[in-house]
Amino acid sequence: MVNQFTAYSGKVTTIMPFAQIRGIRMRYEIVGESGAWVALITGGRRGYDEFVPLARRLAAQGYRVVLHDRRNTGATDIVIEGDVPEETLWLDDLHELLETLGATPAFIGGSSAGARTAMRFYLRYPNRVRGLLLMRVTGGAFAAGRLPDMYYGQFIKAAREGGMAAVCAHPQYQERIAANPPMRERLMSMQAEDYIAVMSRWQEMFIAGTRLPVMGVTDEELGSIRVPTVVIPGNDLTHASANGALAAARIPGATLHSLPVTDQDIPLIPYPEWEIYEDEIAQVFVRHMRAIEGVRA
């Protein structure tokens, strides 16, 4: 349930910043007071803050945008447990949040891991999705070699070498603990062996998806997507433009929109560096959504 929250009807005014979702305390925000619902999902293990400017641009065009910190990111609770892929936990959490807010069906979008989660959200909950807004699709050999360690391997190594104290001392966990201080006690109460077991299991499941041309989504699954989709490719080695073009080619009827960028021979361009393109990104997304709604852009 949402803290101090009854139900949405009409204009949105004061929104509490946390909800109890599937046993975790989740930080979220709604940007916009009326209009169709949109959910945007960030990538990596970052909180939602980097998407606030884009959400404000969409809200200015008449949309309500739901942002949230996924479990184990930002100020949302850290819960290292589960027998399904972590990204499945993320999309199930988002589904529960949107249902609690009365925010379905919605346009679902995201960047990098967020784009992957958006596609998998559709595959799991097709009737809750009006359209997909995808950016910086991940794939290729470079990403396959880099991301398993980025998401899991470095933390497994820390736990093996220094136990849970070393995990808590890792800069990424320091950020999460600063945002949600009780998580330090929760982490320190875990046995390092249990932490390693869960993270290793998640890593193995993650690696299985890295072998696919569009990471985490099979060609058959891409071909089964039946909602209008727009794809904006990335331009670094983790999100090469070819990955986005491939996704757009394999999703029936998808629209490909390329920004005025060229691929760079660097591992990762942080999403905030795309700020100069956010007006164009917002225009592309609004045009796509209004076409689905039957509203003139």
- What's the confidence (pLDDT) of residue 213? 92
Q: Is the pLDDT of residue 90 over 70?
A: yes
pLDDT greater than 50 at residue 4: no
Whether the per-residue pLDDT at 6 is higher than 60: the answer is: no
pLDDT digits (tens, 9 = 90+) for 191-205: 999 999 999 999 999
Q: What is the pLDDT of residues 242-262, one digit of tens each?
A: 999 999 999 999 999 999 999
pTM to 2 decimal places = 0.92
Which regions of the chain carry the CATH code 3.40.50.1820?
Answer: 18-139+217-293
- Per DSSP, helices labelled H in the chain are 52-60, 86-101, 113-124, 141-148, 154-169, 171-179, 182-188, 192-210, 219-223, 241-250, 278-293
* pLDDT tens figures, 33-65: 999 999 999 999 999 999 999 999 999 999 999
Among candidate residues 276, 23, 227, the one with its CA nearest the CA of residue 109: 227
Of the chain, the percentage scoring pLDDT greater than 70 comes to 94
Amino acid letter, 9 = S
pLDDT tens-digit profile of 119-161? 999 999 999 999 999 999 999 999 999 999 999 999 999 999 9
CATH 3.40.50.10320, applies to 18-139+217-293: no
Strand partners, 26: 19
> What is the H or E stretch that residue 130 is in?
strand 129-135
Under 8 Å between Cβ of 27 and 75: yes
